A = this chain, B = another copy of it.
Amino acid sequence: MGYAPGGSGGGEAVETALIAVDWGTSNFRAYDVDATGAIRDRRAAPQGILQVPDGAFADAFADLVGDWLEAAPDAPVVMSGMIGSRSGWSEAAYAACPADAAALAQSLHPVPFGARTLSIVPGLSTVGPSGVHDVIRGEETQIFGALGDTAGRTAVCLPGTHAKWADVADGRVTGFRTAMTGEVFAVMAEHSILGRTMAGPEAPADAAAFARGLARADEAGGLLHHAFGVRAEALFDALKPAAARSYLSGLLIGHELGGMADILAAVPEVTVIGADALSALYVEALAGRGVATRRVAGDTAVVDGLVRVARLARLLKDAP
């Protein structure tokens, strides 16, 4: 955001200038934004694209923010996230890397909605050095929101079910990698033998066990071997069920970072975007490798990214 709206009362700055929407797999989040990029109002619902029946996205959208749309009939609507996937409202083709925020603005995907045309921000695709593809949908908006016009080379990490690591040069995403860290944690905890000696998600985080897992990830043997240690240590009572979740989390995040060693060696700092608790674990793990970090909250990054793309697309005036 440029800055918070000054004072209260009338004036253009406090009217709705953009309806910014982050519509993901599990959640819907909308922001009523003024011309300065400040949030006037926000709304969230557990109405991710998987929860919308029979592709009735237009109905769901009207239910969720119909009053906003009516109150600001001329405000543009820009959306990012899985809403633009094959399983979403309308498929927005991926923009290919390298790509900057202007490239997204030029590739907005139009969706007719009554008298309006809504815009979906495309995801990004990349092809690694050996020809393997990777994709992002939603995080690209957060990356451009969090980075602004940062010059030079930097990296962005978005932890989660499918963690994303973007390599950025002069405001342009040159490539990225997805790591299935969160999903592997979940399937191993729920469906593998490791779950038998592991307390449930209600167990409090154990900082010492997390640090042990991180350290273990740097030793010989590889992830497939280290993971079995969760079981073997439990057999010898060397890892308590309440500590096992944090240990496995440390193991996986440690291996994720190990896989990004080439990126980490090339950048002065990593911007970590996400929720507090998970971001804190990544900041700790990166600090252990001597990597400087900067944190940006996930919703701040989304709104700033949508505002930035909307400005570049001339849907929203430049900040006053």
Contacts and interface: CB of A to CB of B under 8 A. Distances in A.
Copies in the complex: 2
A71 interface: no
A233 B134 CA distance: 7
A180 interface: yes
B191 A228 contact: no
A97 to B, nearest CB: 13
A133 B222 contact: no
B233 A132 contact: yes
Contacts of A162: 228
Contacts of A238: 132-133
Given A132-B233, A133-B238, A187-B188, A228 B259 contact: no
A183 B162 CA distance: 21
A135 B235 contact: yes
Given A178-B228, A181-B224, A191-B187, A133 B235 contact: yes
Contacts of A129: 219
A256 B222 contact: yes
A232 B134 contact: yes
Nearest to A228: B178
A132 B259 contact: no
Interface string A64-75: 000000000000
List of 5 A-B pairs having minimum Cβ-Cβ separation, nearest first: A222-B259, A179-B224, A178-B228, A133-B232, A187-B191
